[in-house]
Amino acid sequence: MKQLLNKKILLLSILLLNVVVTSAQNSSEAKNTIELKHGSHRIGKRTDTVMKKWRGYGLGQFIHWGLYAIPGGEWNGKTYNGAAEWIRSWDGMPKSTYDSLIYRFNPTQFNAVAWAITAKEMGARYVTITTKHHDGFCLWPSKYTKYTVANSPYKKDIIGPLVKAYNAEGIDVILYFSIMDWNNPNWRYDIKTEADSLAFEKFKTFTRNQLIELLTLYPTAKGLWFDGTWDKAWVKQAAFADELETEMRKLRPGLIIGSRFRADEYGKRHFDSNGAMMGDYEQGWERKIPNKIDDVHGNDWDCVMTVPENQWGYNKAWKGHIKTVNELIEMTAKCVSLGGNFVLNFGPKGDGSIRQEELDLAKGIGSWMKVNSEAIYNCGYAGLEKQDWGFFTKNTKTNKLYMLVFNVPLSGDYRVKLPARTDIAKAYLLTTSSSALRTEEIHPNEYFIHLKNEPGKKPFVIVLESTSAAKGSGNVYEKAKT
Ligand code: JFZ
């Protein structure tokens, strides 16, 4: 009897162990699970309406604007070879000279409404705006430092009018905020002495005050985009950052915070020591796009992209490859096909105007989006095998399937593999829904869609309507028994 009971207990514990191990693997792909106080606080994706909306944005705009737009990557006739917004870190420009740029900040051409209209016409559904970059200059009149727009010749708030103008166009705003602050005397890269520790405590209070101030002044902001969080001093603040995140979420329920805000108590960033993502979406896709769905580990994510390579702030002399309209549309399609959003960066000039190259790109993307945004907005991963002609997306509300074509096959045959027991009911061009394209079943659940190729200059979309089929169509032979 006792033996039987022991056996039962053993069996039960094996079963339980299995459940624990598989759920840990499913949730975080963790091999070992250790107890964490300041790791991830949520398993799986957020399911609330704010995050669902974020997931469906598809296309966004990033804005990097600050004092660095005035030198635009050049100082005293010399060119800085790094990212324009990092010019203060360059020996070629003395720090005090950089900091005095505040007295030259007077963007007479700045027009918040014009920026918002440009974004709207591009088809962006959210915008991330730098409220304060690493240089510490605040585009809002912060009470907690003198280094703000209020003390520049311009005097006025920039963030408020931008939030208002973008919201008026139906575009949600995310506030970019750099924790690292080169202007604040209490900022430290690391904490090595008692004095460092005292200074950094003050810096933490300052950071908290500014964040609460931003959320209070701009209550419609949907989220915060954190940056400058990689230095040791901040990485050591797991408890403080965790508490601050909780406080901000309490103040603004639904607030969206990416994985780049805080580290866990072992100093692990983005993903905690158990491999679980911290925050609401993965913020590591910077100027790079995942190649396959496994790369995103079931997480929400967005990709932020520059027009030339690694220039966020305004740089007078763009060098190297400049991305084209079609290339940027392809990146948008690729991101959406893998369940992410694509965010294109703009670096307005020191006078507040947007450079012509960026206006042209916005216009070009926008004219494509006007026709094809149905295949981008509220769309995501379609669960189908990737094909050479381009990307599949699927509308999460209507379940409609889209084929976004970037590489036209010379044969005119577009291969599609559907899951078992699904048939194509209808295929048609998004622009001409009334005429169906000819489809041919070539293997069970595998099709060619035939489309006479016309030399086009723009990527285009084929809509697929599928139905579930109880049996095969009977049009193909049985599989060989190998
Ligand atoms: C940061 C900033 O330093 C840069 O100026 C810009 O604002 C950009 C959006 O963010 O740069 C980074 C941050 C993280 C990575 C790369 C560049 N990263 O994780 O690969």
**254 and 164 inside one domain:** yes
E strand or H helix that includes residue 428: strand 422-429
pLDDT average, residue stretch 260-288:
96
Give the Å distance between the CA of 228 and the centre of ligand 1. Answer: 8
Count of domains for the chain? 2
Distance CA 461, CA 459 (A): 7
Q: Which residues of 304-325 are buried (b: 16+ CB within 10 A; e: fewer)?
A: bbbbbeebbbbbeebeeeebeb
Range of the domain at 450: 382-468
**210 and 280 inside one domain:** yes
pLDDT average, residue stretch 90-119:
98
**175 and 303 inside one domain:** yes
**318 and 341 inside one domain:** yes
> Does a structural domain hold residue 31?
no
pLDDT average, residue stretch 440-468:
89
pLDDT computed for residue 32 by the predictor: 67
CATH number of the domain within which 404 lies: 2.60.40.1180
pLDDT computed for residue 6 by the predictor: 53
What pTM, to 2 d.p., does this model score? 0.91
Q: What is the pLDDT confidence band of residue 58, given thresholds at 50, 70 and 90?
A: very high
List Cβ neighbours of 417 (8 Å cut-off, separation of 6 or more).
384, 385, 387, 445, 446, 447
**215 and 340 inside one domain:** yes
pLDDT computed for residue 403 by the predictor: 98
Say if ligand 1 is within 6 A of residue 309 CB.
Answer: no
**177 and 149 inside one domain:** yes
Q: Which of 363, 378, 393 is the last residue of a domain?
A: 378
**360 and 458 inside one domain:** no
Residue 118 tokens, joined: 């440009």
Distance CA 257, CA 224 (A): 5
Question: Pick from 352, 333, 334, 332: which is nearest to 342 by CA?
Answer: 332
Distance CA 65, CA 54 (A): 23
Strand partners, 174: 128, 223
pLDDT average, residue stretch 235-250:
98
Question: Pick from 128, 144, 125: which is nearest to 136 by CA?
Answer: 144
pLDDT in tens, 170-214: 999 999 999 999 999 999 999 999 999 999 999 999 999 999 999
Q: Which of 378, 403, 434 is the last residue of a domain?
A: 378
**362 and 398 inside one domain:** no
pLDDT computed for residue 471 by the predictor: 53
**301 and 411 inside one domain:** no
**What atom in ligand 1 is closest to the CA of residue 176?**
7
**420 and 271 inside one domain:** no
Give the Å distance between the CA of 181 and the centre of ligand 1. Answer: 14
> Does a structural domain hold residue 11?
no
**What atom in ligand 1 is closest to the CA of residue 312?**
6
**276 and 396 inside one domain:** no
Q: Which of 137, 227, 305, 307 to mutate to test the pocket of ligand 1 (most atoms within 8 A of CB)?
A: 227
> Does a structural domain hold residue 138?
yes
**432 and 368 inside one domain:** no
Q: Which of 346, 378, 410 is the last residue of a domain?
A: 378
User: E-assigned strands of 210-310?
Assistant: 223-227, 256-257, 282-286, 301-305
CATH number of the domain within which 171 lies: 3.20.20.80
pLDDT in tens, 60-82: 999 999 999 999 999 999 999 99
123, 331, 338, 460 from 335: Cα distances, Å: 15, 6, 5, 16
